[in-house]
């Protein structure tokens, strides 16, 4: 039996918003498994905004994906075959297989997950990179005190939803910003934020100000653009801004969309109100991940940490789902279901 693998490669670099033609679905022969390695079968693929950066060749913290190479991405995978003594066939792991059905790994980048704790797809979201990003930014930079106001952009998203819920667990007020009535209702009623404001509302800035009668002490920034403009006047003295991303600008060209230079006004507010802006990536706090996973599993178990996943079926649909992600079309952590094979909780050993 010769099996083939399917994969999506970067066909060309996008100029502005990615289009389907920037991606190409390919078939390839299943690679041989060398000694000391494992063969992974992708069950779930995570789609995340940072991938847009990797499609460009601008100088960045991470190397660009070469043209013709597989798109990068975290996966939840099953070990289909093992020639590595630390890993067994059937183990469920978080891997970095990218946008493909199978991959080979030497095990160094794998993290075993326990299907008994939560559905394994959560290893890409609330119990994965996005959940940990929220936790690390809040714990190390935002540091909300009880009673303070935490404003969260993209509050129904994978990171923002966790930021607001942890802020509330820590005794702060959480004000979420999301796009559309459905997402706001979810943020307010399902996730339990104190308020949720629709950034599509023509009165967005005024409504946000009303939801923050005591100003804003922490603004978790992952959007930029008009949301930042609305938050800026509300920032209190000594506010902290964990800067996680600016998705509204990821499809900008070098010059940005605005013809107004918003930098001086932003820096003025930061200077005059003694505000801290701290860019970060979760990897710099990676030694806190075990503590996070333990705490978060407890919060999920007792119902204080909820999550929503937006699962798209089929690897071939990853490009359109990713394009939609950059436009805010997903609702919850965006995940592609790549394989339909058995991956549910295993039966107890007999």
Number of residues that bind a second copy (CB under 8 A): 44
Residue 243 binding a second copy, by CB under 8 A:
yes
Residue 226 binding a second copy, by CB under 8 A:
no
Residue 350 binding a second copy, by CB under 8 A:
no
Residue 279 binding a second copy, by CB under 8 A:
yes
* Secondary structure (3-state) at 177: strand
Give the separation between CA 25 and CA 63, rounded to whole angstroms. Answer: 22
* CB of residue 136 to a second copy, shortest distance in Å: 11
- By CB under 8 A, name the one of 256, 298, 314, 346 that touches a second copy: 256
Give the separation between CA 13 and CA 19, rounded to whole angstroms. Answer: 10
Residue 317 binding a second copy, by CB under 8 A:
no
Residue 264 binding a second copy, by CB under 8 A:
yes
* CB of residue 157 to a second copy, shortest distance in Å: 16
Residue 112 binding a second copy, by CB under 8 A:
no
Q: Which is nearer to a second copy, 50 or 186 (CB)?
A: 50
Check residue 171 and give left, alpha or beta (phi > 0: left; psi -120 to 50: alpha).
Answer: left
Residue 245 binding a second copy, by CB under 8 A:
yes
Beta bridge partners of 8: 25
- By CB under 8 A, name the one of 261, 287, 302, 340 that touches a second copy: 261
Stretch that binds a second copy, among 22-30, 71-79, 161-169, 274-282 (CB under 8 A): 274-282
Give the separation between CA 111 and CA 201, rounded to whole angstroms. Answer: 42
Stretch that binds a second copy, among 105-113, 199-207, 254-262, 307-315 (CB under 8 A): 254-262
Q: Which is nearer to a second copy, 95 or 208 (CB)?
A: 208
Tokens linked to 37: 């390695």
- By CB under 8 A, name the one of 181, 237, 313, 314 that touches a second copy: 237
Give the separation between CA 123 and CA 145, rounded to whole angstroms. Answer: 29
Taking CB under 8 A as the rule, which mask of x and - marks residues 24-63 in contact with a second copy? -----------------------------x-----xxx--
* CB of residue 98 to a second copy, shortest distance in Å: 21
Beta bridge partners of 177: 197
* Secondary structure (3-state) at 83: coil
- On whether the CB atoms of residues 18 and 322 are closer than 8 A, the answer is yes
Stretch that binds a second copy, among 106-114, 175-183, 196-204, 238-246 (CB under 8 A): 238-246
328 CB-near residues (< 8 Å, 6+ apart): 154, 179, 247
**What does 310-340 look like in DSSP terms, one character per residue?**
EEEE-GGGHHHHHHHHHTT---SEEEEE---
* Secondary structure (3-state) at 41: strand
| Closest by Cα among 187, 212, 213 to 198 | 187
Instruction: Summarize as ranges the residues that interact with a second copy (CB under 8 A).
Output: 53, 59-61, 221, 224, 228, 233, 237, 243-246, 249, 252, 254-281, 284
């Amino acid at each position: 039996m010769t099996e083939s693998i399917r994969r999506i490669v970067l066909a060309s670099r996008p100029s502005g918003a990615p289009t389907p033609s920037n991606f190409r679905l390919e078939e390839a022969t299943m690679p041989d498994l060398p000694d000391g390695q494992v063969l992974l079968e992708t069950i779930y693929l995570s789609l995340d905004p940072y991938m847009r950066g990797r499609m460009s060749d601008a100088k960045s913290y991470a190397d660009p994906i070469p043209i013709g190479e597989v798109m990068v991405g975290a996966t939840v995978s099953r070990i289909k075959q093992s020639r590595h003594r630390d890993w067994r066939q059937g183990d469920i792991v978080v891997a970095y297989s990218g946008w493909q059905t199978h991959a080979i790994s030497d095990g160094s980048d794998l993290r075993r997950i326990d299907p008994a704790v939560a559905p394994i797809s959560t290893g890409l979201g609330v119990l994965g990179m996005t959940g940990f990003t929220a936790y690390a930014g809040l714990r190390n930079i935002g540091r909300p005190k009880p009673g303070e106001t935490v404003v969260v952009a993209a509050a129904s998203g994978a990171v923002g939803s966790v930021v607001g819920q942890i802020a509330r667990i820590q005794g702060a007020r959480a004000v979420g910003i999301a796009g559309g009535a459905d997402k706001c209702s979810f943020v307010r009623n399902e996730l339990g934020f104190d308020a949720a404001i629709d950034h599509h509302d023509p009165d967005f800035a005024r409504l946000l100000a009303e939801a923050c009668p005591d100003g804003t002490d922490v603004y978790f920034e992952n959007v930029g653009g008009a949301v930042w403009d609305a938050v800026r006047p509300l920032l209190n003295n000594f506010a902290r801004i964990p800067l996680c991303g600016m998705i509204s600008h990821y499809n900008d060209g070098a010059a940005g969309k605005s013809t107004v230079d918003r930098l001086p006004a932003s820096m003025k507010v930061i200077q005059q109100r003694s505000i801290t802006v701290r860019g970060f990536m979760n990897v710099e706090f990676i030694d806190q991940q075990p503590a996070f996973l333990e705490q978060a599993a407890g919060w999920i178990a007792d119902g204080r940490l909820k999550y929503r996943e937006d699962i798209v079926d089929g690897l071939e649909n990853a490009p359109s789902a990713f394009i939609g992600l950059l436009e805010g079309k997903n609702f919850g952590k965006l995940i592609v279901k790549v394989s339909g094979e058995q991956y549910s909780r295993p039966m107890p050993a007999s």
